[in-house]
Structure 1
Amino acid sequence: MNTTLTKLIPLNFRILTALLTIAASLYTQLVFAQTTGSITGKILTSDARPLAEVSVRVAGTRLGAITNDAGEFVVNNVPAGQQTLVISRVGHQRVRQVVTVIANEATTMADIVLSENAEQLQEVVVEGKNPYKADVPSLSLRLKTPLIEVPQNIQVINRQLLADQQIFDMLEGVSRNVSGVTRQEHWDNYARLNMRGSRVAPFRNGMNVQSTWGPLAEDMSMVERIEFVKGPAGFMMANGEPAGFYNVVTKKPTGVTRGEAGFAVGSFDTYRATLDLDGKLSKDNRLQYRLNLMGQSKGSHRDFESNDRYTIAPVLKYKINEQTSITAEYTYQYSKMSAIGSAYVFGANRLAEFPRNATIASANLDPTVIHDHSAFLILEHQISSNWKLTGQLAYFTFNQVGSSLWADSAKADGRIYRNVGIWDAANESKFGQIFVNGEVTTGPVVHRILGGLDLGTKKYMADWGQSFPLYDSNFVFNANSPNYYLPANLLPRFDRSVSLRYRAGVNILSQSFTGLYVQDELRFWQDRIRLTLAGRLTSAKDSQYGANTTETVFTPRVGISGSLNKHTSIYALYDQAFLPQSGVDRQGRAFDPITGNNLEAGLKKDWADGRWNSTVSVYQITKNNVLTTDPTNPNYSVQLGQTQTSGVEVDVRGELLPALNLVINYAYTDGKITKDTRSENVGLPIPGFSKHVTNAWLSYRLRTGALQGLGVSLGYQWQLDRYGWFSDATSKEPTLPNTFRADGAISWQNNRVSVALNVNNLFDAYLYSGAYYAWSNAYYWQSEAPRNFRLSMAYKF
């Protein structure tokens, strides 16, 4: 354990002791405050089959439960006497049932039948009731607690919102829907999102799939929702950036036979088709399937830049019995794109000195081709009404054959001395998880237990060793009078006669990790106060470019959440993470891992009977052992750095008024260097954040009248005081201009057909990001598209 972490342990114990003292005091005051009992029961469909995911709540309290796959539920700590249960599920009639609770006894109710309600189901599908708001996390986050009670800021982007904004993949506008999340420059193959001062780790179905240059950005055709978890969440991902992660949840079978076909066209020769099939393969509904297909051809506002993709994503789920199911999922993503890096432009004089359609691409360079495969096998077993076991295996493999463009230098007269380098790469990752969720009661205290084991290996290799100049004494690309066709003698001839493993040499990055974790959420006073105690022991072996490190680190988590009433809660959280770092300094000494500490507090509130909610959070993240440039040799790094990021975040989402849905957010972020070998850098901002970020998306749809189904949407993205992610505060131009982008849409839909026209960048603003790049003695930047449109049509059957 490193010295920085050792110094932090006394602080951990002080925080832990203080929270335990509070909990003990509450326990003493409340243990005999009220006599309680429990309620158990089972919910069935009209044909006597168990009904899962039914909400069972005790009226006038926060007490409640969700039925398991066997349709069973248990509600603990219910005050003795007559109580009313409110039982509800989307697409079914709501039922109110009166029950008499006897002190210190379990009251078992007769089976309750919940009938389908076609009108209510149609209301949800057609009118989109609360389409932007989520109340519970996905099962892949392993939590059984409603989001309003979780002592952490977690924001969920639902499939309906992705569809309304016509977002095609993770490289597009996903970030606009969550406070403080910004998309950085891209290579058009993987998504880099920043939040709270550093990169956000990508998860898929609860597994950390991040590699240095991957995975391939997910296409939205296979995505059910995206969950942004802010802060380290050490019990889930101790070996990751303390900023947090986003979890892409893929579509699964629902057991309901239905389908949807979609087609879209857009600016820059964009064409896209999707098909989503959902249903059952056996009459008893035990074997279910989901199949998503997508094909896309997409150009760009820059010439000779394109990204053609297709996706195949079949899923099978088999219910062995009412307690046990197995789900098998496979996804194949194919991408053929122009040479990676063609989105970058270089200039010697200033940022954005050329028109936004300028490009350094050449028309006769070979494209880059990527094959991305992933597979999941998931076992879910309901041990009892209170305990559930989940096991999950995943395999990812990624193969890339292509090249990347960059510039050696740029001149004031517009000449850009380009080069092209080979970028063949392969990635293989294997993951395993097993965890158990359960609930036990000791006196008046309910314990929600989570414990499990994570295993994983990741290996990425690449050939970056071959490069060719795209200029000679007779030909130099000039952005003021471009010739996009390379002479035959300058076309690169990469040698692929030997295996990638041989060509990669030391360019191999690998990591293996094992993590054991446990969490106890202690719920007091009829669930009004919740104390979370958790910890994770992670052992990680990391290797990069021939240097190796091995670390075993314990990361604690302490949180407390209290309900002021059934619609309002406050919380506080202390959490840790660590991030292994490979490589050596000038003396050949290995680097210690980054340690990250997060302090967070917030307020969550549901409004208008739960139709919309708001979250306000404040936080401070400290990162220790950050690498900084060696002042005696800029080709090396030294490890004496520390950064601190603090901020305020506000998120509002849901149905603000009948038929009026809103997503609006704001984040203030301040990231600074607090320790550095160069004392003059202390106090300067870190790269890759914007001090002020605010976004909104407002959507209104008519529910009655002759124009029923007609909808209008407007939104904006606004960033102020921006710092490029690939520069530092001492560069020639550390800050970027403020950006404001407005978007709008008009649509119409009924229960079968939907048509939507989206127009992005309504004011046709020249938006870009970039920095001064000292190595090329030039500025680089990427521009966003000018005003553009997408027209989509979909049919449900």
Structure 2
Amino acid sequence: MKYLNQKLLPIKLLLCLFVLFSATTFAQTSGSLKGTVQTSDNKAAEGVSITLKELNRTTIADNNGNYSIKNIPAGNYTLIVTLVGYTDFQQNVTITSGETATANITLALSNNELNQVVVLSNKSAFKTNRISSSLRLQSPIIEIPQNIQVVTGKLIQDQQIYDMLEGVTRNVSGATRVEHWDNYANIFMRGSQVAAFRNGMNVSTTWGPLTEDMSMVERIEFVKGPAGFMLANGNPSGFYNVVTKKPSGRTKGEANMTLGSFDMYRAALDFDGKLSKDGKLLYRINVMGQMKGSHRDYDYNNRYSIAPVLKYLIDENTSLTLEYTKQFSQVNIIGSNYVFSNRGYADLPKSFTTGEPNFKPTNMDDQSILAILEHKMSNNWKFTGQATYINYKQEGMSMWPQWPGFAPGTDNILTRGVSIWDVLGLTKTGQFFVNGEEKTGSVTHKILGGLDMSDKMYYHDWSQSAALNGYDASGNIVPFDIYNPIHGNVPASAMPNFDRSKDIRERGVQYHNGYNAIYAQDELGFFEDKLRLTLAGRYTTLKTSNPYSGSFDDSKFTPRVGVSYSFNKNNAAYFVSDQSFNENYGTDWQGKSFDPETGNNLELGFKRDWMNGKWNSVVSVYQITKKNVLTADPEHSTGGIQYSRQSGEQQVEGVEIDVRGEIFKNLDVVINYAFTEAKVTKDTDPAIVGTQVAGTSRHIQNTWLNYKMDRGVLNGLGLSIGYQYQVDRSPWFVSDDQTSGLPDYFRLDGSLTYQKGKMTYNLIVNNILNRYLYSGGKYDPGYFYWQAEPGTNLRVSVGYRF
């Protein structure tokens, strides 16, 4: 504890200094500004950003559309309300010493049109009231009978998160990242791995595609519970939806450069504007390049991305958006980020690697095309059609110990195995849906209906493998001793030479998964929409085939019932009962395909906006029952081949609390806690019944605090500090041996930011306490494996907006 206090002393002193300066007032030379913002249909324009241009001071309108800016030096200013896709609202205001000026604003758009404006323009808050249009729902978050948490672009930037493999999950209760293979994120929530979505479409596969770089990301929406009717197939735990940046109709840009530990060099550009004088053809392009080493020797991850988007406003009711994304990543060898030991976890230094300096790189190339057609059929109805095509290619190698891992009779001599790992993934997804509002008597109806289709074809080649041996000067094999590793003695002639003379479509194993579904939902509003009843259903047909089990398809109707009641504008309670239905990939030891996984979810929650929308809280209690769940099959897993089986049933119960927003003036927070009791309730092996579900943590608590000065000599200076804390962690996927449980996890991070005019500077220090942090499991032969995170490391970022 003494060591911890010494580490935190500078942070405490800085915080006290900030508070001291923030107490300084300028009553004799400053005034205030207040007012309300409404839409053209006389509704409160909550959540919009209001900025004093000359001071770069920004505030957010509350749930009633009210805003206030205090301690403004006397003078003339330009008040700006940013409207994405519309001309920015501007108004001149005069501030007089000791007085409060009033500026009421009416925006020339309806409340429905405001939704996308707020989603894309609010760059200054950790909290938002609205979801993106890709989630299809028309209500504010507080009225939706489900727990939806939004990680805003401001929060991503503040924490210097550059991809989904980093700390995104700290901002959502119960979400953890367990392991990864350098290309895709493996995120657990509510007892199971959650699906990855991009712009409302399921892009998840067994491996791939490449996880999104944050340079092209507007926000990330974590949707808890199945909600299969709303988007596409997903498991009963939920999914995360990555919303990419779209044209705003405003001429602006941003450049960022970052230097960091382990030879990290990164640059990103964001251009946004109009290509035609009439403002009908809009564009946005994000470009990023990165070279990054690692805390492990010979390891690296170099990548670049380019994401141009065009949006054509055909007329006042119709628009067409075309988005192309190319991401490329190059790593040393997939799997070299794992550590292996016969003795136990954390037995080797964080810098340990099984890699070699002369490995050929593994290249991952992800390209996608997205088309979105939006048509406003009337004032109350809108049609949306969207389709995407993803082409994912991977060419390289993977590494894992050859069976049985360690040489017989030793616990230090590791037999390294290298295999080819080439992938070709082709994903096609199409969606048509309509949403609108109608009224029958005193009852309002928010109606949603649509068609979803998806086809995923993947080819994997891991059929060629070889042992990796080092040699001394005399040509004798040098065993790889994990406690005294010698690198650089594997000559090029000893490297495996894989045969790629045939196209991967010929040499690879083909997996084919697809689905088609129709769905409908009606949200009925009673008593002036205070009471809302959601009735929804989805009929889904799953299709799958592979060379081991042949072809099969299955269909199921999954209903959904939800109730939400608003006690007032700031308080709402909800209940939801829904189901999930999605495919189980792969086959068992007999080559038979698995039945689809089904799930039932019951959830009760309470949502509250505090200080009229400055910050909000959500408390939810849920129970999920899953059937036909895949678990490890140690009985038939021999010779290094791991099989899965359908364990029968798992039950997950939990409580989640999320708090986010500005709880005090200039202090933004993200605080969350989750208690997750995930147990195996039925299984063919009685010994497994009652054990904790693999990959889960019983207690997870995260905090991120950001305090920013907005006046005085320290105007623009900010301090952030946060931690992640996990207790009772279960190993991921392979191990059912509860004696190999993972230790508690605690990571402390902090940052300093400074904004002056168009320039922003950000220094972040991760793992301040230099803790040995890792996740992993126990493999079938008996050895332990894990992925170690880096120790204390830092990043310095400089940004310029123009």
TM superposition score category, shorter chain reference: 0.7 to 0.9
Partner of 2:717: 710
Per-residue CA shift, 1:528-584, capped at 9, x if unaligned?
000000001111101244322201111111000000111000000001111223555
Alignment of 1:373-388 (within 5 A): 373-388=367-382
**Gap change, CA 1:274 and 1:583, over 3 Å in 2:** closer
Cα offset for 1:588?
Answer: 6.2
Q: 2:201 aligns with which of 191, 195, 207?
A: 207
Q: Distance in 2 between matches of 1:588 and 1:374?
A: 33
In the TM superposition, 1:448-487 aligns within 5 A as: 448-471=446-469, 474-485=477-488, 486-487=490-491
Contact 2:47–2:129 (CA under 8 A) maintained in structure 1: no
- Structure 1 residues 196, 53: closer, same or farther in 2, change over 3 A? farther
Opposite residue 437 of structure 2, the aligned amino acid is: E
1:620 is aligned to 2:616:
no
Aligned counterpart, 2:494: 490
Give the Cα–Cα distance (whole angstroms) in 2 for the partners of residues 585 and 289 of structure 1.
49
Give the whole-Å Cα distance in 2 for the aligned partners of 1:451 and 1:640.
Answer: 35
Say whether residues 1:652 and 2:655 are aligned partners.
no
Q: Which residue number corresponds to residue 417 of structure 1?
A: 415
- Asked if 1 retains the 8 angstrom alpha-carbon contact of 2:123 and 2:153, the reply is no
Give, as a single letter, the amino acid of the residue that structure 2 aligns with 1:141. L
Cα deviation code 1:4-45 (max 9, x no counterpart) = xxxxxxxxxxxxxxxxxxxxxxxxxxxxxxxxxxxxxxxxxx
Aligned pair in 2 of structure 1 residues 133, 349: CA closer, same or farther (>3 Å)?
Answer: same
1:287 matched residue in structure 2: 281
2:267 corresponds to which residue? 273
> Residues 136-186 of structure 1, C-alpha deviation per residue, up to 9 Å, x if partnerless?
110000011100000000000011100000001111111111000000111
Cα distance, 1:284 vs structure 2: 1.5
1:728 to partner: Cα distance: 3.2
Deviation for aligned residue 1:479: 2.2
Using the TM superposition, name which of 456-465 and 478-487 deviates more: 478-487
Q: Which residue of 2 aligns with 1:770?
A: 776
What TM-score do you get using the length of structure 2 for normalisation? 0.83
Structure 1 CA distance, aligned partners of 2:386 and 2:66?
A: 31
Q: Does 1:661 align with 2:664?
A: no
CA gap 1:328/1:240 in 2 versus in 1, 3 angstroms: same
Matching residue of 1:41:
none
SS across alignment from 2:620: strand
CA deviations on 1:583-602 (whole Å, 9 max, x unpaired) are 55566654321111111110
- Quick one: distance in 2 between partners of 1:663 and 1:632? 45
Q: In structure 2, the residue corresponding to 1:175 is in which secondary structure?
A: helix
Closer/same/farther in 2, CA of residues 326 and 488 from structure 1, 3 Å limit: closer
The answer to whether residue 801 in structure 2 is matched with residue 796 in structure 1 is yes
Paired residues for 1:12-27 under 5 Å: none
Q: Distance in 1 between matches of 2:175 and 2:522?
A: 30
Contact kept? 2:202, 2:233, Cα under 8 Å: no
Q: Distance in 2 between matches of 1:658 and 1:613?
A: 15
Q: Quote the Cα distance in structure 1 between the aligned partners of 2:198 and 2:107.
A: 36
Deviation at residue 434 of structure 1 after TM alignment: 0.8
1:323 matched to 2:326: no
- Equivalent residue runs for 1:177-192 within 5 Å: 177-192=171-186
Partner Cα distance (1:335, 1:589) in 2 = 35
Name the amino acid aligned to 1:641. G
1:767 aligned partner, one-letter code: L
Whether 2:257 is the aligned partner of 1:253: answer no
Q: Aligned partners of 1:617, 1:525: CA distance in 2, in Å?
A: 25
Partner of 1:37: none
Shift of the 561–128 alpha-carbon distance from structure 1 to 2, 3 Å rule, reads closer
In 1: Cα distance, 2:635 partner to 2:292 partner:
47
CA separation of 1:428 and 1:112: change in aligned 2, threshold 3 A: same
Residues 243-252 or 638-647, more deviating: 638-647
Distance 1:638 1:167 in 2: 36
User: What is the letter of the counterpart of residue 508 of structure 1?
Assistant: Q
Secondary structure in 1 aligned to 2:155? helix
**Whole-angstrom CA distance in 2 between matches of 1:705 and 1:544:** 66
Q: Which moves more between the two structures, 612-621 or 539-548?
A: 539-548
CA distance 1:629–1:712, change in 2 (3 Å):
closer
| Alignment size in residue pairs | 698
Decide which of 199, 213, 219 is 1:219's aligned counterpart: 213
* Partner-residue secondary structure (3-state), 1:418: strand
SS in structure 2 of the partner of residue 356 of structure 1: coil
Query: Residues 792 and 628 from structure 1, CA distance in 2 versus in 1: closer, same or farther, beyond 3 angstroms?
Result: closer
Q: Alignment partner for residue 520 of structure 1, among 501, 507, 522? A: 522
Work out the CA distance in 2 between the residues paired with 1:401 and 1:465: 13
Unaligned runs of 5+ in 1: 1-51, 67-83, 96-110, 116-123
Aligned partners of 1:731 and 1:772 also within 8 Å: no
The one of 486, 509, 516 equivalent to 2:511 is 509
8 Å CA contact 1:57–1:87 kept in 2: the answer is: no
* 1:429 corresponds to which of 420, 427, 431: 427
Question: CA–CA distance in 2 between the matches of 1:619 and 1:224?
Answer: 29
Residue 94 (structure 1) shift: 11
| Aligned equivalents of 1:629, 1:479: Cα separation in 2 | 27
Q: Superposition pairs for residues 62-101 of structure 1, below 5 Å?
A: 90=82
What displacement does 1:277 show? 0.4
Distance across 2 between alignment mates of 1:248 and 1:240:
15
Mapped to 2, the partners of 1:461 and 1:530 lie a distance apart of 46
CA shift, 1:55, in A, is 7.9
Q: Give deviations 1:402-422, integer Å, cap 9, x for gaps.
A: 000111213655321101010
CA contact 2:445–2:522 (8 Å) conserved in 1: yes
SS in 2 for 1:740: strand
CA offsets 1:216-245 (integer angstroms, 9 cap, x no match)? 010000000000000100203563311110
2:751 paired residue among 745, 758, 766? 745
**Residue identity opposite 1:340 in structure 2:** I
Match of 1:371 among 347, 365, 376: 365
3-state DSSP of counterpart to 1:468 = strand
CA distance, structure 2, for counterparts of residue 638 and residue 353 of structure 1 = 31
Q: Distance between the aligned counterparts of 2:709 and 2:106, measured in 1?
A: 36
Counterpart selection for 2:704 from 691, 697, 701: 697
Distance 1:715 1:292 in 2: 29
- Counterpart in 1 of 2:503? 499
The offset of 1:631, in angstroms, is 7.9
Tell whether the 8 Å contact from 1:234 to 1:556 is kept in structure 2 after alignment.
no
Q: Deviations over 1:73-97 (max 9, x none)?
A: xxxxxxxxxxx996996567799xx
Report SS of the residue matched to 1:572.
strand
Q: Equivalences for 1:329-348 in 2 at 5 Å?
A: 329-348=323-342
Q: How does 1:551-562 map to 2 (within 5 A)?
A: 551-562=554-565
Find the aligned partners of 1:245 and 1:136 in 2 and give their Cα distance.
Answer: 17
1:568 aligns with 2:571: yes
Residues in 2 aligned to 1:595 and 1:441: alpha-carbon distance in whole angstroms: 35
CA distance in 1, matches of 2:587, 2:156: 43
Tell me how far apart the structure 2 counterparts of residues 320 and 131 of structure 1 sit (CA, whole Å).
Answer: 32
| Structure 2 contact 254–800 (Cα < 8 Å) conserved | yes
Q: What letter is aligned with 2:194?
A: V
Tell me, yes or no, if the aligned pair for 2:634 and 2:780 is still in contact at 8 Å.
no
- Rounded Cα–Cα distance in structure 2 between residues aligned with 1:483 and 1:628: 37
Question: Could you tell me which amino acid in structure 1 is paired with residue 798 of structure 2?
Answer: M
- The structure-2 alpha-carbon separation of the partners of 1:265 and 1:159, relative to structure 1 and needing over 3 Å to count, comes to same
User: Which of 676, 687, 708 is residue 680 of structure 1 equivalent to?
Assistant: 687
| Identity over aligned pairs, percent | 52
Rate the CA distance shift 1:743–1:590 in 2: closer, same or farther, 3 A: closer
C-alpha deviation, 1:475, in angstroms: 2.2
Judging changes above 3 Å, is the alpha-carbon distance between structure 1 residues 143 and 55 closer, same or farther for their aligned structure 2 residues? farther
Given the superposition, is the C-alpha separation of residues 695 and 112 from structure 1 closer, same or farther in structure 2, using an over 3 Å criterion? closer
Structure 1's 585 and 298: CA in aligned 2 closer, same or farther, altered over 3 A? Answer: closer
Distance 1:262 1:584 in 2: 46
